[in-house]
Amino acid sequence: MLKRALMVLMFAAAAAAFGADNPNQKCIDSLGVADAEVGNTASLQKGARNFVNYCLGCHSLGFMRWNRVAADLNINEDQLKQNLEFTGGKAHDYIKSTLPAKDAVEWFGRVPPDLTLITRAKGPDYVYRYLKGFYQDPARPLGVNNLVLDGSAMPAVLSDLQGIQKLDTSVDVDPATTKSHPRVCEKILLERPGRMSAADFDVFVHDTVNFLTYIGEPVKAQRESMGVIVVLFLLVFTIFAYLLKKEYWKDVH
């Protein structure tokens, strides 16, 4: 528990540092929101597929076990082995990437972070916009940058689906100094289409972020449904308590 709590604090501090006073916030907001719905099992199943195919090569979910995901998402053991867990491990193993740390540092300059708590620390909308916010930047080692996290070491792994994006790179000229200044991003442009339409890609990212939201708090859907029951119970109890109060106090008046 202590290790998990420390990870939440670490991610929260990083989110505060990277999210403050971003000059491209208007452009970032145009990327949309996650609309996470952890009670949608079909979306979670597709999100699990997306994560395994596009994220697990580098990122782990080190606090979650395969059999817990299978139970929560109504996936039987055969389906788990055929569609998600390809390493030949056991169902009770934690969901770990097989990428060696040494190779990760050599290729990306750092070890990709564990994503178990990413949406709890930074919020589903942050992750959703991050996944949609990659654009061409020849100045970066991998040729891409990210609107949400400037200088991100992650490659644009979803560009085959989304397409290649670029920022509006027009410049404004200051008449007082005749110096040109890069204009703050107002929109992000699709330079080359990917295999998915924009609408289909939004659904793909939604499902992926939905799955990560579930991973960060597996009992969230159960907690929310239980909360409705508790509120209804309290409302009914309040009625009976009021009637009982009237019965006790009728002789006082």
What is the per-residue DSSP string for 151-212? Answer: T-----TTHHHHEEEEE---EEEETTTTEEEEPPP--EEEEEE-SS-HHHHHHHHHHHHHHH
Domains of the chain and any CATH numbers: 2-166+195-218 (1.10.760.10)
Give CA separation, 128 vs 74, 123, 214, in Å: 25, 9, 14
Share of the chain above pLDDT 70, in %: 85
pLDDT tier at 219 (50, 70, 90 boundaries)? confident
pTM of the entire predicted model: 0.78
Kindly calculate the radius of gyration of the chain based on its CA atoms and give it in whole angstroms.
Answer: 24
The terminus-to-terminus CA distance of the chain in angstroms comes to 55
Which range (85-89, 126-130, 196-200, 228-232) has the least confidence?
A: 85-89
